[in-house]
Amino acid sequence: MSQRSDRSDQSDVLSLDSGLEALRQSSEFRGPVESLEGHGHSNDHFALVYESEAEQFAAAIPFLRQGLERGEKCMYVVEEEDRDEVLAAMRERGIDVDARLESGALALESVENTYLKGGSFSIDEMTDRYADIIEEATAEYEAFRLVAETGWIVEDDVTIEEFMEYESKVNDVFDGEDAIALCLYDRRHFPAEGICDVVRVHPHLIHDNTVCHNFYYTPPEEFCGPAKPDHEVDRMLGTLQERTEAKTELSDQKRFLQRLNEVTSDPDKSFEAKLQALFELGCEQFDLDLGALNRVDPDADHLEVEHVSGDHDYFQPGVELELSETYCQAAADIEEAASVSDPTEEEFDEITVYEDYGVEAYLGTYVPVEGEADRTLAFVTSRPRTEPFSEQERTSLELMGQWVKYELEHQQYQRELEQTVAKLKQSNDRLKQFAYAASHDLQEPLRMVSSYLQLLENRYADDLDEQAQEYIDFAVDGANRMRAMVGDLLSFSRVERADNEFGPVDCDAVLERVLADHQMQIEERNAEISVGSLPTVSADGEQLEQLFANLVSNAVKYNENAPPRVEIDAEERPDCWEFTVADNGIGIDPDRADQIFEVFKRLHHDEQYPGTGIGLSLCQEIVENHDGDIWVDSEPGNGSTFHVTLAKRAAD
Ligand code: ADP
């Protein structure tokens, strides 16, 4: 059937892979950890070549800790003089050494008691010993994990050849068992030729915080056998070729990514145009002839061609097919990239697109789209293909699919946003209409209440006792407050966005009028008002006057200082003008600073500071009409600074 990448999770099988996983996840161990995927020499035994203690522990301890966490028996073979240091390093890196030693899960064995037991090193004895240790450990624990120092080899006159022979034998012992080993080679102690051999006999090496596939690996039977030089030449040539291929593949991939980026990030192109460019890039990259984006519904066995590159007899936008009659079924089955390079072999020879349309090869990926029909992005050809598609080609296609997914979801989101904005605007308009109608219609009965109260007071004042008089005063007061609120609500509902009313407004002149209108309030409080140099902006002049009137009047009203001071200023920003109205008044609790812009929201009682709670809502409405923003910086007791931005228009 169709090909797909092998992504099976091997983390539960104890092997070199899981050892590598420990290093990958460890924060101490930095650097690339090459995956072993596709590497032929499976071996549960690897070497760390290091030049400092830090390097040694950065690899060895996480490796061991992972074993302990997985319930394995862990053994560290240590030179006697290093024991304390190793223990300290384990503790430092979070291993509960004492508990682990006591339970037996962790063992620190000396070199004397292992490799040199009986006084000297014997290959066979040691191999047998490890076989026993593994058997005993795996009877009780999940697996056996070994970290072993090797410095004793140099000190105890064991030849490297001898040790390498042992290494290849011990490989056999570990092979097929639930056991892995990490040998530690301190480069500072070994002669260079020795390290050279170490490198040759270990398929995987850790050096300088990097886990590497070992190009120089020589299987033990070759290492010790007579044809060593021949094999070495084979390997060298093979490595050269492999490296060159890897380099070419990398630079191909890099070029592809650059082009993909160019195609998808062009701000001047529409989605359709980008898609066509993407089809072109895919056809070239995969050596195929046609690209298509299809809407698919696997449950309904349905596919509809949505976009295609170029003209084609069969594949045209709008063409509908059963999904199972297309190769896209393969991509839909696995919900990722799938390929077909030999339809007969892969049992696709009875589907419509093969039999009737003559499609010979296919590379396609499934594109799940949130909130919309899923898609497949596919490339096909009617030329028979000799080579299967590579993992790299599938990855490239998946990248393209991800971009398509992102674009489609973004478009969908954009559409939803536009609908929401339209709905909001509608309901906002309706609310405003309601507020207008209500406040307008309330005026008349309110006027009646006020005037009859007035009449009552004037005509019957002498007949009323003190309490009745007091009641009438309350009623008059209430009616007056209500009139103020209804009046303010009416002005609020009248703030319209009328772009045609926008024209050059001289803000200096606006402020002059505002100050003149508030002359009485200002003189009563002896307020000092300073106005900086203000610009001429494109705006609705009447609305700006309302805006500044509210801000200036609040700045004087919510102020217990003598004299109240108010500073009005403006600064030019790239896209807008920013005005500030700063006072030395009572200030606002920052936690409630957002509330004050809500309709009827007041932070004070009427007796303390009279008002209706609409002024700042009106300001916000006006500012929004001018594509601007309003906010306040304040601290209770330390005055408030209101900021207002007004977007610049072409005329500014
Ligand atoms: P009103 O002044 O009619 O109450 P506003 O909408 O203008 O209505 O203001 C809402 C609330 O914000 C006020 O009740 C007051 O608590 C607070 N406020 C407004 N401006 C200031 C200011 N400059 N300093 C302190 N508090 C203010």
Per-residue pLDDT tens for 181-191?
888 999 998 88
pLDDT score, position 31: 46
> Which ligand 1 atom is nearest residue 639's CA?
24
* Closest C-alpha to 431, from 477, 373, 493: 493
385 C-alpha vs ligand 1 centroid, how far in Å? 76
570 forms beta bridges with: 579
Nearest one of 320, 234, 332, 325 to 4, comparing CA atoms: 332
CB contact set of 220 (below 8 Å; sequence gap of 6+): 164, 165, 167, 168, 169, 171, 201
Ligand 1 neighbour 282 (Cβ under 6 A): no
- 631 CA → ligand 1 middle, Å: 13
Cα 559 to Cα 553: distance, rounded to the nearest angstrom: 10
Q: What is residue 1's predicted lDDT score, i.e. its pLDDT?
A: 38
- Residue 270 tokens read as 């529409």
Separation of alpha carbons 510 and 379, rounded Å: 65
The answer, yes or no, to whether any atom of ligand 1 lies below 6 A from the CB of 640, is: yes
Is the CB of residue 552 below 6 angstroms from any atom belonging to ligand 1? no
Does the Cβ of 630 fall within 6 Å of ligand 1?
no
190 CA → ligand 1 middle, Å? 81
* Residue 389 Cβ contacting ligand 1 at under 6 Å: no
Which is more confident, 563 or 228? 563
User: Ligand 1 center to residue 580 CA distance, Å?
Assistant: 16
User: Whole-angstrom Cα distance, residue 652 to residue 576?
Assistant: 9
Asked which of 299-303, 427-431, 590-594, 616-620 is least confident by mean pLDDT, the reply is 427-431
Instruction: Determine the distance separating the centroid of ligand 1 and the alpha carbon of 471, expressed in angstroms.
Output: 29
Looking at ligand 1, which residue's alpha carbon is closest to its atom 23?
555
Give me the pLDDT at residue 84, please. Answer: 94
The pLDDT of residue 502 is: 87
Any atom of ligand 1 within 6 Å of the Cβ of 558? yes
CB of 583 closer than 6 angstroms to any ligand 1 atom: yes
Please indicate whether residue 629 or residue 217 has the higher confidence score (pLDDT): 629
Mean pLDDT of the residues in the chain = 87
For the ranges 148-162, 243-257, 478-492, which has the lowest average pLDDT? 148-162
Q: How many A from CA of 276 to the centre of ligand 1?
A: 57
Q: Which of 602, 617, 618, 638 to mutate to test the pocket of ligand 1 (most atoms within 8 A of CB)?
A: 602
The pick from 491, 591, 596 for probing ligand 1's pocket by mutation, whose C-beta has the most ligand atoms within 8 angstroms, reads 596
Q: Which amino acid is at 20?
A: L
The whole-number pLDDT of residue 5 equals 36
Instruction: For residues 412-439, give the mean pLDDT.
Output: 89
Q: Kindly give, in sequence order, each residue whose CB lies less than 8 Å from that of residue 554, ignoring residues fewer than 6 positions away.
A: 583, 615, 616
